């Protein structure tokens, strides 16, 4: 039996480290080539990490990039079952908070938040497949 994941194309590649305190709790800290999260929720995204940016129909604006990066990393950790599915609400809140901090209008940040709350659940579900 093999285990595999379907890949999608990524639009962006990180060239500087990003550190963000998520406020999430993790049973055991993890670290790989591109992501680390401590037991206390300190997320480190390392250079070389690739992500697809804001999801359609969103516009890839500068005030959306950092939020989409953190959000994508947190959703990846949920897909890999490092974070529980219950962390999705906090991940979505972080997206909104970071977008607001980066200068996004309140209305657009609200709209973005509503979009991920309504349509993001499948993107956070584990994606490991298997075949005989």
Flag whether pLDDT at 37 surpasses 90: yes
- From CA 54, how far away is CA 69, in angstroms rounded? 8
CA separation for the pair 111, 85 (Å, rounded): 22
The structure tokens 């990039």 sit at 65
The pLDDT value recorded for residue 7 is 66
Among residues 62, 63, 57, 49, the alpha carbon closest in space to that of 11 is found at 49
Phi, psi of 26 (to 5 degrees): -120, 135
The helix or strand, by DSSP H or E, that contains position 99, with its residue range, turns out to be helix 88-101
Three-point CA angle 77, 79, 81, nearest 5°: 70
Query: Which residues form the domain of 122?
Result: 2-131
Q: What's the domain count of the chain?
A: 1
pLDDT of residue 65: 95
Q: Give 44-103 pLDDT, tens digit per residue.
A: 999 999 999 998 778 899 999 999 999 999 999 999 999 999 999 999 999 999 999 999
């Amino acid at each position: 039996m093999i285990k595999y994941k379907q890949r999608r194309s990524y639009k962006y590649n990180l060239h500087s480290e990003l550190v963000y305190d998520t406020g999430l709790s993790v049973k055991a800290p993890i670290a790989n080539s591109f992501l680390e999260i401590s037991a206390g929720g300190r997320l480190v995204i390392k250079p070389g990490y690739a992500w697809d940016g804001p999801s359609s129909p969103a516009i890839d604006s500068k005030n959306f990039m950092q939020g989409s990066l953190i959000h994508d990393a947190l959703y990846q950790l949920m897909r890999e079952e490092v974070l529980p599915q219950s962390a999705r609400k906090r991940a979505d809140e972080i997206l909104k908070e970071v977008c607001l901090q980066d200068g996004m209008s309140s209305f657009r940040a609200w709209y973005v938040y509503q979009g991920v709350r309504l349509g993001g659940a499948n993107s956070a579900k584990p994606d490991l497949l298997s075949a005989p």
